[in-house]
Structure formats: structure tokens, C-alpha cells
Amino acid sequence: MSKFRKKKKGMPAVNTASLPDIVFMLLFFFMVTTTMRETDLRIENPRLPSATEIKKLEDKSLVSTIYVGKSKDPNRDGVGYNKIQLNDKIATADQVPNFIFSKRDKIAEALHPFMTTSIKADKESNVGTITDIRLKLRDVNALKVSYSTQKGSNN
Amino acid sequence: MARRENPEINAGSMADIAFLLLIFFLVTTTMNVDSGVSKKLSEKPPPDYVPPVIKEKNIFEVNINRNNELLVEDEAMEIKDLKDAAVEFIDNGGGLGKPGEDGTPGTKCDYCKGERSESSSDHPNKAIISVQSDRGTEYGTYIAVQNELLRAYTQLRNRLSKERYGVSYEELEKQYKDAKKSADTKSLVDQLKRKVEDIKVSYPQIISDAEPTS
């Protein structure tokens, strides 16, 4: 008889043994999809203009990015929305060719025509600055340019 | 003597560690895909290059001044009206197109639906849009103008593609891209490619950036 009386009433604990598995799965997903920002921004995060006719940049490794915007440190770099950042330094348009050459060094020659320069410029920066960059890019035959924008709504 | 069992490692805190890592990656992840208005720059002209003479009526001039105001064909205009003006200009089809590379004479634009006015562009492949901006123009305005002009081309291409192939140009391009990715039969890929090229050639995007005024 005692055998039956022993039965204890109470909620059984939820088995959490598989919780780490679930969490790990999520973890791996985020680890794989994460892209870390490679360069520190010396300029304030540019407020991109918006457009509707946009194309996605296909191959990340063939893209070199030029930032244009307002410096985070106006005491050192001066004010205004026309500061150019190459790699992680504030630079001038004259240094753009060298920047492109250093990017090209890392990539096979056959792929050079497919390299794209993405210009991330603040919407308040001036067209003059962009033109300076564009002329320099043309000088070194980096002809594919993408003006980075947000996806705007169709009005 | 009884054999000692290996004590099991307590895995209770595993979930905590994994959560910590998970939260770290959640916070640092940026999922946005880079996208933008893509442009192909023209090659640097040789020093002795003489620009070809282009008839005034085949050029659609867009001026942006430093106050971000638009002057289109010598008339002030709002950005929202630019697309329709550009469509009208490109699609005019008032004359003969560019002669072919093998010397065949240019043909009339038989797919254009414009007014065929004498004073506007001859043919979509002759119609040049020239954007002149000031050095002090805001970049946002410049991109907005480029975007409107591209929208004009997209509208025309979509219309032509719908007429010829029953699907919009954007849809056609997507089909072509998908076909290339999935190992579809070569004939299908070629067929789609021909269609895309056909539309592209019918309405080529000719947008030139003039040197900005200072």
C-alpha cells in the first residue's frame, strides 16, 4: 500500500536541456550574418539622401567606400559638410587615386573593371566635393560609381 | 571497491553564456544592404578630343543653382514635374535615330508615343540629358534630380517592355537575374538577355554631368 501513497503531487519542472541548443542556433545565425564595420567613422554618420531607382551592390569585396560629411572633431578638421574620409582618415580629393590603387592591389587584375566605388555622402554636402572625387576617379579609370542612398518611397 | 563515476560537468550555465554572446551579436549586427544610385562615369577624353556637334533640340538641359532651384530648358521647374518633362523629351521621336555602326541609316522611332514635335528630340538614342549643377548645390538635391531622370527612363522602359513582352522591364530584369542564378537552360537565359538588351537599346540612358559652375 505504501507504494501508492508515495506519489507526490506537484508541477513537474519544464525540461530546459534543449534551451542551450536553441540559443546556440540563434547565436550561429547572427554570427554568420553579422558584418562588422571595418572602418571607424571620422565623420558623423552621413544622412543619406533617398531615392527610388536604386540598385544593390553585388559583391562586397569589390566595393571601396568613400565617406563625405561633417567631421566629428571640428577643432582638428574644421567645420562644414565637405570632409572626405578615406580608410580611417580625413583626406582630400587628391588622395583618392592612391586610395583606389591600394584597393586594387588586393584584387585580381581581371576583376578591376568590376570594382565599384560607393560614395556615402551626407545630403547637405556640396556637389563640388562630389565632382572633385568623380574627376579623380575618372583619372584612374575607376568608372563604376554608386551614390549610396536610402530606399525612398514612391511618391 | 566501487568504481568512481566521472562527475558530470554542470551545463546549467551554458545557456547563460550563449545568451550573452547572442545579445552581443544582436547589438553589433547591421543588416542593411548597401544600395544606391549607380552610375557609369565616362572615360577621360584624350587631350585632342573635339566634342561632336549636337543639335540643340537633342539636348535636355537641367540646371541646378546653389539655392537648389531647377532651371529646365530655360524655365524654372519643381522637382516633381521633372520626370514628366523628361519623359516628354525622350519620347518625342521627332526625326530619325542614330545611324547604325555598320552604316545603316537611322530609322524613325516607331515605338515612341510623343508629340513628334520638330523642336524636341529626334530619337531616344539621340536624346541627351545634361545636368549642370553649381559647386554649392546640395548633394541631396542633385541625387533627387538624378533619381527623377532615372524614373523617367524606367517609366518608358516599363511601358515598352509591357507592350512587347507583356511584363514590365523591372520584372524582365528580375527574371533574367533569377534565370542566370538558377542553372536554367541556356536558351532561356539567352532569350531573356536578348529581351533586356532590346529594351535597353530602345531607351538608352544618356545622362551627362556637365562641369559644375563655381
Do A131 and B138 make contact, defined as CB atoms within 8 angstroms? no
Q: Confidence class of residue B3 from pLDDT cuts 50, 70 and 90?
A: low
Q: Which residues of A touch B11 (CB under 8 A)?
A: 20
Q: Are B212 and B139 contacting, i.e. CB atoms less than 8 angstroms apart?
A: no
Q: Where are the domains of chain A?
A: 50-151
Q: How many residues does chain A have?
A: 155
Name the DSSP class of B92. -
Note whether B66 and B137 are within 8 A (CB): yes
Report CB contact under 8 Å: A148, B209.
Answer: no
Q: Is A133 exposed, middle or buried (0-12, 13-18, 19+ CB in 10 A)?
A: buried
- CA-CA distance, B27 to A84, in Å (whole number)? 28
Per-residue pLDDT reduced to its tens digit, B25-79: 888 776 667 788 888 888 888 888 888 888 888 888 899 888 888 888 888 888 8
Mean pLDDT of A61-74: 86
Of the partner residues B14, B31, B144, the one whose CB lies closest to the CB of residue A33? B31
Q: Please indicate if any CB of chain B lies within 8 Å of the CB of A92.
A: no
- Chain A hits for B157, Cβ within 8 Å: none
pLDDT of the residue at A36:
66
pLDDT at residue B8, rounded to an integer: 76
Q: Which residues of A touch B15 (CB under 8 A)?
A: 16, 19-20, 23
**Residues β-bridged to residue A63:** A116
Q: How far away is chain A from the Cα of B163, in angstroms, using its nearest Cα?
A: 22
CB B22 to CB A26 under 8 A? yes
Sign of the Cα pseudo-torsion (B49, B54, B56, B57, in order): negative
Which of A65-79, A124-138, B2-16, B22-36 is most confident? A124-138
pLDDT for position B32: 64
Question: Minimal Cα–Cα distance from B105 to chain A, Å?
Answer: 31
Higher confidence at residue B27 or residue A130? A130
Query: What's the confidence (pLDDT) of residue B158?
Result: 92
pLDDT at A83 over 80: yes
